[in-house]
Each structure stands twice: as C-alpha cells, then as structure tokens.
Amino acid sequence: MPGFEWFGEEERKEVLDVLNTGVLFRYGFDAMRNGHWKAKAFEAELCRRIDVAHCHLCASGTAALHTALAACGIGARDEVIVPPFTFIATIEAVLNIGAIPVFSEIDRTLCLDPNDIASRITPKTKAVIAVHMCGAMAWIDRIRQVCDQHGLILIEDACQALGASFQGKALGTFGKAGCFSFDPVKTVTCGEGGAVVTNDPIVYRNADQFADHGHDHTGSDRGLEDHPILGTNYRISELNAAVGLAQLRKLDLMINRQRKHKAAIRNALCDIPGLSFREVPDEAGDSATFLTFFLPDEDAARKAVSDLAGAGVDGCFHYYDNNWHYIRKWHHLKELRSAAPMPIHLLPDRPDYENIRLPQSDALISRAIAMLIKLNWTEAVLAKRIEAMQQVLRRYV
C-alpha cells in the first residue's frame, strides 16, 4: 500500500501553498489563506473520485472509525459485529465509543463471512463493521443484505482499500458510512489522516461536528458558532491535507501499476499445484495492494515466509504470527488491558475474549501469506522475484 514510494514535487507544491500563507488550520482565517483550502479540496476530490455525497477528513483512520461510529449513533453497550482479521484500530474504535466488539468468522475473502453474521446477532446488536483487508473486498453486497434483513447499520472499514470497488461501486460507499486511512503505509498517505464518507446528510453533519468539538461550522466567527453536540478534536491539519491532495491525484496511476505487477506474479504462480489464491469477489475492482495466497497448512506457510525472506522476496506477511492484525496475538484485548477503566469493564455480561474460538478464521489465516505489491519494481526486479517465489513455494505445496 505504498503511496510513500511516489512522493515528490506535487506534494511539495501543495505543502508550500500552505506554508506560504502560514494558515495551518482547516477552518477560518479566510483573508490570510490566499484561497487555499486543502482539507476542503481533498474532501471534494475524494467525493468525486469514489462517487459519494459527503466526506469529512479526520486526523487518522482510527479517528475516522471513531467518528463514523458516533455519527451513526452507535455507543454505550451496543454490540458491533467485527472480523478477527483487521488492524487492531477497528476494535479499539468500537471499545472507545463504549460499544462491545463481537467477533464473527471470516471466509476465503479474508473478510467477514456473510453466512456467519446472523449467528452472532443478539437483541443488543446495532452494527456490523466490514473490513476490506489487504486492498480487496468482502462479499459486501451479501453483507449489506444481512444487515438490511436484521435492521443493522453497516459501516465499512476501507482503510486498506482506497480505490477498490465491487461491481463498479467504490468500497466505502455500500454502508451508512465508510472509513479510509492515509497513514504512512496506506495507498494514499498524508503522514497521518483519515476520512469518513457517507451519502447520508445527517451522518455527515454528525461527523463534521463530532470531530471538531461539536462546532456547527455555520458562522465565520468560531467563537460564535453553536455547539449542538459534544465531540472531540479529530481535525486534520492543512499541511497533512495538502500532502493527501497531491497523493490522491496519483491514485489511479498507482492502482494501475499495482494491478500490472500483481497480475504478472499471480500468473506466474497459478500453475503451482496446491497453492491457491484468496477469493476476490470482483477481481476487476481489486486495488492490488497485496497478493494473498494459501499454502496447504500452517507449518508450510510459516516456513515459506521465512524462506521467501531468505531468498530476497521481502514484504511477505504470515498474519497468524503477526502481533497486530489477527486476534490470536491480541493479548491486550483478550485480557482487556488498558491504561484506565473502559466502559466494557463495567459490563458483567461482556464477551469472553480470552476463550473465543474462531476455527474457520484460524484455518484460513494460519495458511495465508500476503505479499505487498510495490510500485517501483523494475521488469528485472519483478522477474527475479517471480523466479525466487516459484522456487521457494514449490517446496511447500
């Protein structure tokens, strides 16, 4: 997910616009800013790019998730169905809003299994967060159907899937709200940043207010604006927004390059018997930030990742052993360890995260290897990588 690979003049120009005015704040200072509104411009361009009505930029993807939950009216004691394979931020956002994460199995897409969601629903279930992991999509139409059938709010964590789509519709626009991240390892980076997108004007208004202490953003004088709700400060700075704006304009070029590199590697591996690929419900909509495949068992996957690294094939992840992206290693969550008591600590009937069993997810993640697709690989580098991968992987299938 490497926006950081293509970084240069365009980003510098946008940042200099901001530095030359000295206005780093996204609101106000109209007379001093020389017409530069980087956050607003980023929001408008992102809306156009993914065909959505509203966008509100935040300080991070995590802030965007927290803001989206609040904006959709999800809060204390609500149960929110989440996948066990995601970046921990998804779970933290649910806990920080005072709600309860409830885990549901993933399927061969490595995203929530639409067939497993219904069995996790209780009278307290309010929402589902579908996470589109590693640049590609969940069966989002079927997840949406389950949510509609049961009256649940759908939120998409599309932090890793900017620019990806399902049947021509951008990921992040299927539910009541969608979230993106622009942190340093995402497809588009602005240092730190995130976005909430929605087609619902009320959700947008709530997000816009929540992320700025409840300001209603109607007056020219901030001190005289009303504060319809309590919120917090999840604002993005103009400097970060400026970088993001330049990066966003490269998104299609980046995705095209990634797709080309991914297709070359995938084609070269597809005749290895015993090696299978992650299911991608709409291959044409894949943002191609990762190539993800399954080996026959956990042991093979673990050894293959180590051998791939030894053979110079960098950027391969065995998420079963990774501390951040799969529940197996989330000891802090299992013991609900935090710096201070959280709302969930007060609930006697909270889920027992320590003894949670998700055999279907374990069986998939333990065998999965995800390889980061880079933009700057030359033909020669790509050919060498393919040869090394073929050699290593044949040993384990």
Q: Among all residues, which ones are annotated catalytic?
A: 186
Count of positions on this chain that bind ligand PLP (CB under 6 A): 14
Strand partners, 395: none
Q: Shortest gap between Cβ of 60 and ligand PLP (angstroms)?
A: 4
Q: Exposed, middle or buried, 40 (CB in 10 Å: 0-12/13-18/19+)?
A: middle
* Structural contact between residues 94 and 100, judged by C-beta atoms closer than 8 angstroms: yes
Rounded distance between C-alpha atoms, residue 70 and residue 355, angstroms: 29
Looking at 14, 43, 52, 62, which residue binds ligand PLP (CB under 6 A)?
Answer: 62
Rg (CA), the chain: 21
Q: How far is the CB of 215 from ligand PLP (least distance, A)?
A: 22
Binding segment for ligand PLP (CB under 6 A), chosen from 54-62, 197-205, 283-291, 360-368, is 54-62
Is residue 61 involved in binding ligand PLP (CB under 6 A)? yes
A 10 A CB-CB count for 360 gives: 17
Cβ atoms of 65 and 87 within 8 Å: the answer is no
Only one of the segments 7-15, 31-39, 55-63, 227-235 lies at the binding site for ligand PLP (rule: CB under 6 A); that segment is 55-63
Q: Which of 71, 82, 89, 254 binds ligand PLP (CB under 6 A)?
A: 89
CB of 397 to ligand PLP, least distance (A): 29
CB 185 within 8 A of CB 193: no
Mark 286-305 with x for binding to ligand PLP (rule: CB under 6 A) and - for no binding.
Answer: --------------------
Residues 109, 155: Cα–Cα separation, whole Å: 18
Stated length of the chain: 397
| Cβ closest to ligand PLP, residue 243 vs residue 304 | 243
CB 109 within 8 A of CB 136: yes
Longest distance between any two alpha carbons in the chain, whole Å:
69
26 closest CA partner among 312, 225, 235: 235
Judged by CB under 6 A, the residue of 85, 87, 290, 396 near ligand PLP is 87
- In the window 156-175, what residues touch ligand PLP (CB under 6 A)? 157, 159-160
Whether the Cβ atoms of residue 389 and residue 313 lie closer than 8 Å to each other: yes
Task: Tell me the window of 154-162, 334-342, 343-351, 360-368 that interacts with ligand PLP (CB under 6 A).
Answer: 154-162
| Local structure of 393: helix, strand or coil | helix
Within positions 174 to 203, which residues make up the interface with ligand PLP, using CB under 6 A? 181, 183, 194
Told to check if 247 binds ligand PLP by CB under 6 A, we report no
CA distance 337 to 315: 30
| Contact call for residues 320 and 364 (beta carbons, < 8 A) | no
CB of 62 to ligand PLP, least distance (A): 3
The answer to whether residue 86 forms part of the interface with ligand PLP (CB under 6 A) is yes
Tell me the C-alpha distance between 23 and 44, whole Å: 20
Nearer to ligand PLP, 158 or 300 (CB): 158
Out of 68, 131, 152, 242, the residue judged to bind ligand PLP by CB under 6 A: 131
CB of 106 to ligand PLP, least distance (A): 13
Residues of the shown chain interacting with ligand PLP in the complex, contacts defined by CB under 6 A: 60-62, 86-87, 89-90, 131, 157, 159-160, 181, 183, 194
